Amino acid sequence: MRTDGMLKEGALKDQTIIVTGGGTGLGRAMGTYFLELGANLVITSRKIEVLEQTAKEMEAETGGKVLAVQCDVREYDQVENVLKVTEERFGQIHGLLNNAAGNFISPTERLSNRAFDTVIDIVLKGTTNFTLALGKKWIANKQGGTVLNIVTTYAWTGSGYVVPSACAKAGVLAMTRSLAVEWAKYKIRMNAIAPGPFPTEGAWSRLLPGDLVKKFDPAKLVPVGRVGEHQELANLAAYLMSDFSAYVNGEVVTIDGGEWLQGAGEFSHLEKIPQEMWDMLEAQRGKKQ
Ligand code: NAP
């Protein structure tokens, strides 16, 4: 396993990239690597004090420039404001990483309609708000750009107990593939990443609260036997954000150590059969042939 940066120095030099939910977790990890590769970074979320602290630490760590802007992705006027202040600070915007999300586990029948709406609004509406606002700007200015959306593998399999998130991420995936085609003529490229389990404070405390993390150790569900390293995701995100991936459009790249396929494969549970039983089965087969 390699956990160092993969791209060439300067691979994102002078690119201005907005990362929603960039103050914490995976957004922070991907944003930090964009900075290391020479980008100017804008991080947004609801908690300005978290963003400002992160921005300071990122600048100290990388020597890059970070602008922290408070924005609830559900509010279109706040999204437009992020674009305005970004242009004032850095000029042209080159990339958008739609990473902000909300999620929690619950039997669906226990959810209020408002709880359902909240997740859909942050994940789906938040992503379409940013994509639409920036897309309109890029098209009006006759300028291309790159959008990268963070989805999940249950965007296509569906999943119980996280149904609002599954509905919303499926919508984001549909938007990714639709606009990849529709907006290619404007030189706007759009891809998605579906991460498997990557430990983060935010997502894991909501999805595996209390001692659930011990009961359902996510690493045990992954064929390669471990969870992801943040830099592994950051390497993929930087590639998809950079011009090195200029011919990749409308793609969703899974980075999960084979987790979702293990759940989907009809006979994958045979993993539990011990070697001696395989020997016995082979011997029985031998006799019959
Ligand atoms: P996280 O640290 O909780 O990140 C979520 C971010 O979204 C936070 O910075 C949060 O900041 C922001 N956010 C939430 N509501 C918002 C709103 N209304 N407006 C603006 N920003 C908002 O969790 P994470 O694990 O890094 O997740 C990052 C992305 O990866 C998400 O899209 C998630 O679905 C995806 N993902 C994660 C995993 C994993 O294993 N970690 C697996 C699959 C997919 P504020 O609270 O300050 O607003």
Instruction: Transcribe 162-230 into DSSP letters.
Output: -HHHHHHHHHHHHHHHHHHHHTGGGTEEEEEEEE-----HHHHHHHSTTTHHHHT-GGGGSTTSSPPPH
The answer to whether the beta carbons of residues 153 and 259 sit under 8 Å apart is: yes
| Ligand 1 centroid distance, CA of 90 (Å) | 25
Q: How confident is the model at residue 224, as a pLDDT?
A: 97
Q: Which two tokens stand for residue 94?
A: 């080159």
Closest CA to 156 of 268, 266, 260: 260
| Ligand 1 centroid distance, CA of 96 (Å) | 15
Q: Is it the case that residue 214 has pLDDT exceeding 80? A: no
Give the whole-angstrom CA distance, residue 111 versus residue 117: 10
Q: How confident is the model at residue 162, as a pLDDT?
A: 96
Model confidence at 288, pLDDT cuts 50, 70, 90, reads low
Model confidence at 289, pLDDT cuts 50, 70, 90, reads low
Q: How confident is the model at residue 287, as a pLDDT?
A: 63
Mean pLDDT within 140-163: 97
Mean pLDDT within 153-161: 96
Residue whose Cα lies nearest atom 12 of ligand 1: it is: 21
Q: How confident is the model at residue 268, as a pLDDT?
A: 86
Q: Which two tokens stand for residue 272?
A: 């539990």
Atom of ligand 1 nearest to the CA of 201: 2
| Ligand 1 centroid distance, CA of 102 (Å) | 6
The answer to whether the beta carbons of residues 34 and 59 sit under 8 Å apart is: no
| Ligand 1 centroid distance, CA of 198 (Å) | 12
Q: What whole-number percentage of the chain has pLDDT above 90?
A: 88
Residues marked active site are found at 154
Mean pLDDT within 6-28: 98
Q: Is it the case that residue 216 has pLDDT exceeding 90? A: no
The answer to whether the beta carbons of residues 195 and 228 sit under 8 Å apart is: yes
159-168, 233-242, 260-269: range with lowest mean pLDDT: 260-269
Q: Which of 47, 70, 99 to mutate to test the pocket of ligand 1 (most atoms within 8 A of CB)?
A: 99
Q: How confident is the model at residue 178, as a pLDDT?
A: 98
Atom of ligand 1 nearest to the CA of 23: 9
The mean pLDDT of the chain is: 95
Give the whole-angstrom CA distance, residue 22 versus residue 31: 7
Phi-psi group of 192: left, alpha or beta (phi > 0 → left; psi -120 to 50 → alpha; rest → beta):
beta
Model confidence at 76, pLDDT cuts 50, 70, 90, reads very high
Q: How confident is the model at residue 274, as a pLDDT?
A: 94
Residue whose Cα lies nearest atom 19 of ligand 1: it is: 72
pTM of the entire predicted model: 0.96
- C-alpha 7: how far from its chain's center? 19
Q: How confident is the model at residue 204, as a pLDDT?
A: 80
| Ligand 1 centroid distance, CA of 153 (Å) | 16
Closest CA to 34 of 46, 22, 25: 22
Q: Which two tokens stand for residue 285?
A: 């087969």
Q: How confident is the model at residue 205, as a pLDDT?
A: 80
67-76, 110-119, 215-224: range with lowest mean pLDDT: 215-224
Mean pLDDT within 230-251: 98
Give the whole-angstrom CA distance, residue 97 versus residue 115: 25
Q: Is it the case that residue 231 has pLDDT exceeding 80? A: yes
Residue whose Cα lies nearest atom 1 of ligand 1: it is: 202
Mean pLDDT within 261-266: 90
Mean pLDDT within 159-176: 97
Which residues have CB under 6 Å of ligand 1?
20-21, 23-27, 45-47, 50, 71-74, 99-103, 122, 126, 150, 152, 195, 197-198, 200, 202-203
